[in-house]
C-alpha cells in the first residue's frame, strides 16, 4: 500500500495562485497552510488578508477570512481576537501595508501584546501598485517613485521592523527568515509554526518577517531576484531571532515584563 507523503495542504483551496512567477507569496501561503493542517486548527483559524498583492489570499485559504483596509489588519485582527479568544487569528501583511500606512496599528497591537500572529512579507517594494518605493526599500534602490535610487537624505532610511518591534514588551516572538533555499524554507516553516504555537499557548504577539522577492517589479528573473535579495537585502535585514520570550525562559510576555521589573504600575492595586 502506498503512502501519500506530499500533497496540497487541506488549508489551501484547490485553485491557482494569482501571484507572479517567482514570487514567494506562494511558498509563504503553502507554509502557513501546512502548519494549519499540522496543528489541526483550520476550523478555528481566522485569517486577515491585507491590501496589496496578497489581497486575494481570501480566495486561497480554506479557513474563514477577512479582507482589511490598507494597514488596518492588526486592528481588525484585534477586534476578531478580543471577542473570540479561543480562535487562532493571523494577519498576512506586506511592507507598505505593515510598515507604512499601518505602522501605528502594528506598533500598538504589538505593544498591547495582542495574542495574534503576523506574517510580514518584506520585498522592499510596493508590488500591486506597480513598483513604488516602500518604507523598506534600500538606500539607492531604484523604484518607480525613486527613479534615481532611494536617496536617504530626501526619503529617509528603510525600517527594520522586527528589530523595532522586538523592543516592545508585548512581543513574544520576533524573527526574520527568508525562502531562497530549502534550508531557509525549513527554517521559515519552523518560525511560523512557533508563532502559531505561541498564540495557541497565549504567549503573546508573534511576528515572522519573511524577506521576499518581487521579480516583476525589480525587473529580474526569479533566480536573479533571489541573488539580488541575498546581495542587498539580507545585509540590511539580517536573518535571526530578535525576541523569543520562551527562549529567555518565560512562559509569556507578562512573566517576562514582571521579571524585568518592567511592569511598573501606579495607583491602586487590582481589587
Give φ, ψ of 90 to 5 degrees.
-125, 145
Reduce the DSSP state of residue 259 to 3 states and report it: helix
**Site membership for other proteins, residue 117 (CB under 8 A):** no
**Site membership for other proteins, residue 230 (CB under 8 A):** no
For residue 178, the minimal CB distance to other proteins (Å) is 29
Out of 12, 33, 53, 75, the residue judged to bind other proteins by CB under 8 A: 75
**Site membership for other proteins, residue 17 (CB under 8 A):** no
* Contact stretch for other proteins (CB under 8 A) within 70-78, 120-128, 132-140, 260-268: 70-78
Out of 30, 72, 150, 194, the residue judged to bind other proteins by CB under 8 A: 72
For residue 71, the minimal CB distance to other proteins (Å) is 9
**Site membership for other proteins, residue 208 (CB under 8 A):** no
Contact 77, 89 (CB under 8 A): yes
* Contact stretch for other proteins (CB under 8 A) within 1-9, 25-33, 60-68, 224-232: 60-68
Contact 95, 122 (CB under 8 A): yes
Element holding 46 (H helix, E strand)? strand 45-49
Contact 191, 102 (CB under 8 A): no
**Site membership for other proteins, residue 80 (CB under 8 A):** yes
Nearest CA to 58 out of 105, 92, 24, 23 is that of 92
* Contact stretch for other proteins (CB under 8 A) within 62-70, 176-184, 225-233, 239-247: 62-70
Tell me how far the alpha carbon of residue 91 is from its chain's centroid. 7
Other Cβ atoms closer than 10 A to 40 = 9
Out of 8, 104, 151, 263, the residue judged to bind other proteins by CB under 8 A: 104
Contact 67, 38 (CB under 8 A): no
For residue 100, the minimal CB distance to other proteins (Å) is 14
* Contact stretch for other proteins (CB under 8 A) within 57-65, 128-136, 225-233, 249-257: 57-65
The Cα 16–Cα 105 span in angstroms is 31
Contact 72, 93 (CB under 8 A): no
**Site membership for other proteins, residue 64 (CB under 8 A):** yes
Amino acid at each position: 500500500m502506498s503512502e501519500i507523503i506530499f500533497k496540497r495542504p487541506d488549508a489551501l483551496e484547490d485553485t491557482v495562485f494569482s501571484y507572479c512567477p517567482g514570487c514567494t507569496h506562494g511558498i509563504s501561503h503553502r507554509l502557513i497552510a501546512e502548519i494549519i493542517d499540522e496543528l489541526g486548527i483550520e476550523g478555528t483559524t481566522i485569517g486577515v488578508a491585507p491590501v496589496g498583492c496578497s489581497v486575494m489570499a481570501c480566495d486561497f485559504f480554506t479557513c474563514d477570512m477577512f479582507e482589511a483596509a490598507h494597514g488596518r489588519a492588526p486592528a481588525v485582527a484585534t477586534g476578531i481576537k478580543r471577542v473570540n479568544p479561543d480562535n487562532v487569528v493571523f494577519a498576512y501583511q506586506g511592507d507598505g501595508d505593515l510598515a507604512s500606512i499601518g505602522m501605528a496599528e502594528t506598533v500598538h497591537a504589538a505593544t498591547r501584546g495582542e495574542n495574534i500572529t503576523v506574517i510580514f512579507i518584506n520585498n522592499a517594494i510596493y508590488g500591486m501598485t506597480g513598483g513604488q518605493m516602500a518604507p523598506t526599500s534600500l538606500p539607492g534602490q531604484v523604484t518607480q517613485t525613486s527613479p534615481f535610487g532611494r536617496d536617504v537624505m530626501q526619503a529617509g532610511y528603510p525600517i527594520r521592523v522586527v528589530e523595532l518591534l522586538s523592543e516592545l514588551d508585548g512581543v513574544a516572538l520576533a524573527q526574520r527568515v527568508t525562502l531562497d533555499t530549502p534550508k531557509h524554507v525549513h527554517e521559515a516553516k519552523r518560525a511560523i509554526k512557533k508563532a502559531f504555537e505561541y498564540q495557541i499557548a497565549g504567549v503573546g504577539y508573534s511576528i515572522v518577517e519573511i524577506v521576499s522577492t518581487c521579480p516583476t517589479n525589480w525587473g529580474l528573473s526569479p533566480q536573479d531576484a533571489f541573488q539580488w535579495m541575498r546581495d542587498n537585502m539580507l545585509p540590511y535585514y539580517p536573518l535571526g531571532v530578535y525576541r523569543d520570550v520562551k527562549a529567555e525562559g518565560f512562559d509569556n510576555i507578562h512573566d517576562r515584563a514582571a521579571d524585568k521589573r518592567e511592569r511598573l504600575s501606579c495607583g491602586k492595586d487590582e481589587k
